[in-house]
Amino acid sequence: MPWMLFAIGAAFFWVVAKATRLSPSTTGALILSGGLANTSFVGLPMIETFYGRDGMAIGILIDQLGTYLVLSTLGIAIASIYSAGANSAGDILKRVFTFPPLLALLLALALMNIEYPEWLENVLRRLGDTLSPLALVSVGLQLRLDQLRGNRSPLVLGLSFKLLFAPLLLAILYVGVFRATSEVIRITLFEAAMGPQIGGAIVAIQHGLNPPLITLMVGVGIALSFVTLPMWWYALQML
């Protein structure tokens, strides 16, 4: 799902950008914020709330081998392409293969069967617990509603796609085409309906892709998702 979501988002915003002559900075910002769902910081607690702890494994799989792997590869490539200045293929590949989350994921997979001392597990867990607050603060401190001026139309476009159009399109694909209506599919589509991903927002800001729009997409999008997600849960229960 995360791979299809990103591909659909990239194609959609590229077509819209061509038709409306959006700047490369705004186009890249919309792809990275509208094409990546917040499947961890918001997604996992939401899954536990609406589907119980049994659904957490599906959410973790979607997040680690889906959303973050997309960000670590295609997301970095898109950020490099749309950022200011020319980027060679070699430079893009270097950024992809030196991206810390990708290296962390590969290291985690390699060390899955390694037993850690209890004290080290506690230290790593405490360090991991700081990730969500730091990520939220790093974006939230930059959120200013007065930045709506000049970004209102791209914001409405981006959030309409992320919170409504993209999940609907994926639901039509999974249910209408693949005829899949299991609990796994419901959780997968529920994850697709999450607000914009914070990790993608941070990468976009680091590459100078319209930071005011990015912070609005994440701040307003996550807030709105608390309204739209219960609606999606209710709709998915009818499958």
- Three-class SS of residue 181? coil
Q: Is the overall model pTM greater than 0.85, yes or no?
A: yes
Q: Give the confidence band of 89 by pLDDT, cuts at 50, 70, 90.
A: confident
Contact 35, 10 (CB under 8 A): yes
- Three-class SS of residue 37? strand
| Rounded Cα distance, 104 and 33, in Å | 22
Q: Is 25 a residue whose pLDDT tops 80?
A: yes
What is the Cα gyration radius of the chain?
18
- Consecutive H or E run containing 132: helix 131-140
Question: Of residues 29 and 215, which shows the higher confidence score?
Answer: 29
Q: Is 186 a residue whose pLDDT tops 90?
A: yes
**Burial environment of residue 161 by CB neighbours within 10 A (0 to 12, 13 to 18, 19 or more):** buried
Output phi, psi for 37, to 5 deg. Answer: -95, 150
- 96-151: pLDDT as tens digits: 888 888 888 889 889 988 888 999 989 988 888 887 777 777 667 767 777 888 89
Q: Give the confidence band of 209 by pLDDT, cuts at 50, 70, 90.
A: very high
* pLDDT recorded at residue 90: 81
Domain ranges of the chain: 2-108+125-236
Contact 186, 1 (CB under 8 A): no
